[in-house]
Amino acid sequence: MPSIIRMESVDFRYPERPIFSGLSLSLEGGEVLGLIGPNSSGKTTLLKLMDGLLQPQRGRILLEERNLDQIPRAQVARTIAVVPQAMEVPFSFTVGEIVLMGRAPYLTRFGWEKQKDLDVAREAMALTDVAGLGDRTFWELSQGEKQRVLIARALAQEPRIILLDEPTSHLDINHQVEINELIRGLNLQKGLTVLHISHDLNLAAEYCHRIVLLHQGSVFSAGVPSEVITEENIRRVYETKVLVEKNPLSGAPRITLLGKGKMEQPGPQRTVHIICGEGSGVDSARRLLLRGYRVSLGVLNTGDTDQKIGRTLGLPMALEGPFSSISERGMEENRKLIEKADLVLVERFHVGPGNLDNFRAALEALEKGKKVIVLENNLEYDFTGGEAKAYYRRLKEKGAVFIPDHSRLLEEAERHLNPV
């Protein structure tokens, strides 16, 4: 697609510090472009440059192949609409009045709204599901309702481009999804070109056609979400460790935060061996590492989510091939890791003949005097003909500590590993 906005070799600085040096990027017609990057990377500044509210010191910005700084502001406002993070309204304007403000670029200096202006505003309110709020004052709305009203005001401008500055930053999960679904619907139904600043990388990956990652005044990476949202890119730009895997439903990259690797050191390090699978060990491994414990994992299949996390964090692991049952070799590797551990944690996951030996290893450890903590598992999906339930019963009979959820994990680990 042709570029609808193009930035060429743009330099921009505030009096106290530079922001961009030689920045070049484009917004293509009909796309939803996600703009991501750490705080102070220039995302909001870039949006203001694209709208012509700020002028670059060098380079140029083209709107449909015309220099943006040579286009009258009213004409720019009929093409580009901006949705800010929030809007302070000092007077008791109603929702209807706020949305009608979007018609300002079409009015003469002292002109009043005509029937067309009212019709456009009503359509914008209907599209954003705020038609029933027209007589309510803006300040009494919820954050989610306010964001919908601001989007309706932008739509009332009848723009071809809409620039959104973190429209979901103050919203709960439900409203974040609603706003992103609304933006995608407007892109599909009305052909709007969208630039969407977001701090939520998972939402950006789900809803954007293309993503630009800013870092230190330049474009660090640009492309489809799977090309930009990678473990290496996030580590280098955000200085934190993450696991990036494919969302099984949408295929978009999905991020699990692992931390920066700066772990507490409460004293002599103890080791916890986690028997896990299917991603069940993610939360426990992160909690334990941040508390200063060493962690090992097993037996895991190569490609399993827990194996990917272990690889990212450099944890010792007992492994089998993809979809393979636990072999005697894998069992021996698991026993060696358990022998080095001070505590064994059995996570909650599906049990079948292929991984049943993990529970045999836990029972062996308990019988040899190791402390064992088990996440309670009702085994609704027990594919072992009752053998797994028998292992759970024996673990409980021989003194394993059963906990209902992860909220008690650190407390129990401290009690067993660092007794007073």
For residues 370-386, one letter each, b for 16 or more C-beta atoms within 10 angstroms of the residue's C-beta and e for the rest, the string is bbbbbbebebeebebee
pLDDT exceeds 80 at position 224 = yes
What gap in Å lies between CA 341 and CA 315, rounded to an integer?
13
* Overall average pLDDT of the 191-218 stretch: 94
Beta-sheet pairing, 271-275 with 343-346: parallel
Is 418 within 8 Å of 292 (Cβ atoms)? no
Delineate the domains of the chain, giving CATH numbers in brackets: 3-231 (3.40.50.300), 263-417 (3.40.50.450)
pLDDT tens digits, one per residue of 123-152: 999 988 899 999 999 988 888 889 899 999
pLDDT tens figures, 390-417: 998 999 999 999 998 888 888 888 888 8
Confidence of residue 276 (pLDDT cuts 50, 70, 90): very high
- Judged against a pLDDT cut of 80, whether residue 260 lies above it is answered with no
Round to whole Å and give the CA distance between 288 and 103: 56
> Distance (Å, rounded) from C-alpha 295 to C-alpha 344?
10
Distances 171 to 41, 86, 130, 181, 187 between C-alpha atoms, Å: 22, 11, 17, 14, 21
Report the alpha-carbon distance of residue 391 to residue 109 in Å, rounded. Answer: 81
- Model-wide pTM > 0.75: no
Evaluate if residue 266 carries a pLDDT over 70.
no
pLDDT value of position 286: 84
- Give 165-188 pLDDT, tens digit per residue: 998 877 888 888 888 998 999 999
Average pLDDT of span 370-398: 85
Nearest-angstrom CA–CA distance, 385 and 402:
22
pLDDT for the residue 349? 87
Candidates 205, 178, 210, 206; CA nearest to 194 is: 210
Whole-number pLDDT of residue 380 = 65
Q: Tell me the DSSP string of 23-65.
A: EEEEEETT-EEEEE-STTSSHHHHHHHHHTSS--SEEEEEETT
**The one-letter amino acid at 237:** V
The pLDDT tens digits of the residues spanning 100-125 come to 999 999 987 767 888 999 999 999 99
Which pLDDT belongs to residue 157? 95
Q: Percentage of residues in the chain with pLDDT exceeding 70?
A: 95
Q: What is the mean pLDDT of residues 7-20?
A: 93
Calpha distance 48→67 (Å, rounded) = 15
Spatial distance between the Cα atoms of 61 and 65, rounded to a whole number of angstroms? 9
Q: What are phi and psi of 220, to 5 degrees?
A: -80, -40
Q: Which residue has the higher pLDDT, 348 or 291?
A: 348
Mean pLDDT score, 207-215: 96
pLDDT in tens, 314-334: 899 999 999 899 999 999 999
**CA pair distance 349, 335, nearest whole angstrom:** 20
The pLDDT value recorded for residue 263 is 43
Predicted pLDDT at 162? 96
pLDDT of residue 109: 72
Residue 245 CA, distance from chain mean position: 12
**Which helix (H) or strand (E) element contains residue 375?**
strand 371-375
What are the pLDDT digits (tens) for 19-77?
999 999 999 999 999 999 998 899 999 999 999 999 999 999 999 999 999 999 999 99
For all residues of the chain together, what is the average pLDDT? 89
